[in-house]
Amino acid sequence: MASDHAAAPLLTGPEAGDILATALATMEVELDSWSVDSVNARPGAETSVGYDVVAGGERLYLVASTVSLTDEQRAAAKAVRLASDDGEVHVWRHPADPYLPGLADACVPETLAPRLSAATGRTITIESLDMMVMRPMRRAVLRVHTVAEDGRRTWYVKVVRPERAAAMLARHRMCDLAPIALDAGDGIVVVQEAHGTPMTRALHRPDGSEPAPIDPAMLLAAMDRLPAEATALDHRPPVPDRVSQYARMAIAEGLPQDRVEALEQRITAALAAAPEHPTVATHGDLHAANIYLDDAVAPTRVEAVIDLDTLGPGRRIDDCACMVAHMMVLPQLDPEGYRGVPAIASQVLEAFGARFGIEELRARVAANILSLVAGAEDGSIAAAWLEAAESVTSGRAATD
């Protein structure tokens, strides 16, 4: 089994049914039906696919991955190893995970509640628990509504590899815009819901009204408040530095090779001509969903910044490019609800460009959009995003 994005067609095509049936047969269970729920492919690394399965009359969630596992990891996750001339694939049942030992407890209210109680120092009762993000072997995010003696709260439960939890907690503690984060053990980090309202809510208007005005200076001020000590953390290459990988992934998804390669060449040429930037503290994944504002109608300041997992040294222009790119793709997700966003995205692009250089910013925005194209599950959305990326590098409007 290929250990990169090329494995995705095999794990999502008809052969996947044979893989799942064979794995279940080792448990003496017969496969009834299956469907692909999610695909997670990392450039140059493993491909993992999650499946909704009915087997022996029972609903299951299975994961198949091209990852290599040790005997100990295989045993801990009760994973089945299948080998062929194409390579090997491992299959296991969620919520077991060979790299996320805390996932099983985090997914069950009866086992998560004691961990929350110990971490917060309060007696916690869980009212509801919902999975929001699941990336096998990397991370999971769950939302939990709780009740304690001091009232109701919403927490976000992040499950990571245990060796990464300390760094995540340290990032939250060094940033005054970050919400409270606590250690619940085994790679489980619980983060209290941030104050304010998500910027996506300020932009989304399903009733057709105008979105809230977004002052670019407000966003830049929040970026400038990121802690200087974060420059001493590990460096994580930003998306534009990996544009060739995302271009290959987009082509593997079936997007036109000539257009993707031409876009990649324009991006690469623009970045090669760009000046050096000072190293500053950067968020690393700064977009509207990770920004909380003081008001959904007339915001004046950023109240909080969330998802600080990627906080570290970098270029300020890359945070700006990530922000603009994610704003530009919103209209394809809900054309009516986000119909006012293109004008705001153009305004923010121009303001950021005035500070950092518009041509370089356009190239970095296009690289970020291309990374989203590579992971889009809907072909029509991927095509629209590719066109948006092309429009940015050509200097046309942010979106049509």
Separation of alpha carbons 362 and 244, rounded Å: 17
- Say if residues 5 and 12 touch (Cβ distance below 8 Å): no
Residues in a beta bridge with 157: 142, 190
What does CATH list as the number for 197-394? 3.90.1200
Report the CATH fold assignment for 103-192. Answer: Phosphorylase Kinase; domain 1 (3.30.200)
Which tokens in the block code for residue 368? 């970020």
Q: pLDDT, tens digit, for every residue of 192-208?
A: 999 999 999 999 999 98
Residues in CB range of 13: below 8 A, 6 or more apart: none
Q: Are strands 80-84 and 87-93 parallel, antiparallel or unpaired?
A: antiparallel
Q: Are strands 188-192 and 280-282 parallel, antiparallel or unpaired?
A: unpaired
Q: Helix %, strand %, coil % for the chain, to 5?
A: 45, 25, 30
What per-residue confidence (pLDDT) applies to 7? 67
What per-residue confidence (pLDDT) applies to 398? 47
Residues in CB range of 245: below 8 A, 6 or more apart: 43, 44
If phi > 0 it is left, if psi is from -120 to 50 it is alpha, else beta; for residue 232 that is alpha
What per-residue confidence (pLDDT) applies to 39? 86
Residues in CB range of 326: below 8 A, 6 or more apart: 287, 288, 289, 368, 372
Q: Which of 182, 188, 108, 117 is nearest to 149 (CA)?
A: 117
**Per-position b or e across 290-328, b if 16+ CB within 10 A of its CB:** bbbbbebeebeebbbbbbbbbbbbbbbbbbbbbbbbbbb
Q: Which of 58, 82, 60 is nearest to 69 (CA)?
A: 82
Q: Is 169 helix (H, G, I), strand (E, B) or coil?
A: helix
What per-residue confidence (pLDDT) applies to 208? 86
What per-residue confidence (pLDDT) applies to 383? 94
Separation of alpha carbons 105 and 380, rounded Å: 38
Q: How many helices (H) and strands (E) does the chain have?
A: 14, 15
What per-residue confidence (pLDDT) applies to 96? 95
Count of beta carbons in the 10 Å neighbourhood of residue 183? 16
Alpha carbons within 13 A on the beta-carbon side of 179:
21
Report CA torsion sign: 134, 324, 333, 196: positive
Residues of the chain predicted below pLDDT 70:
1-7, 43-44, 396-400
What per-residue confidence (pLDDT) applies to 1? 45
Q: Quote the pTM value.
A: 0.86
Which amino acid type is present at position 397? A
Which amino acid type is present at position 327? M
Residues in CB range of 28: below 8 A, 6 or more apart: none
What is the arrangement of strands in the sheet containing 125-135, beginning at the earlier edge strand? 125-135, 139-148, 151-160, 188-192, 181-183
Q: Where are the domains of the chain?
A: 5-93, 103-192, 197-394
In terms of Cβ atoms closer than 10 Å to its own Cβ (0-12, 13-18, 19+), residue 329 is: buried
Report CA torsion sign: 13, 15, 17, 22: negative
What per-residue confidence (pLDDT) applies to 135? 92
Q: Which of 202, 95, 246 is nearest to 157 (CA)?
A: 95
Q: pLDDT, tens digit, for every residue of 132-158?
A: 999 999 999 999 999 999 899 999 999
Say how many residues make up the chain.
400
Separation of alpha carbons 64 and 48, rounded Å: 6
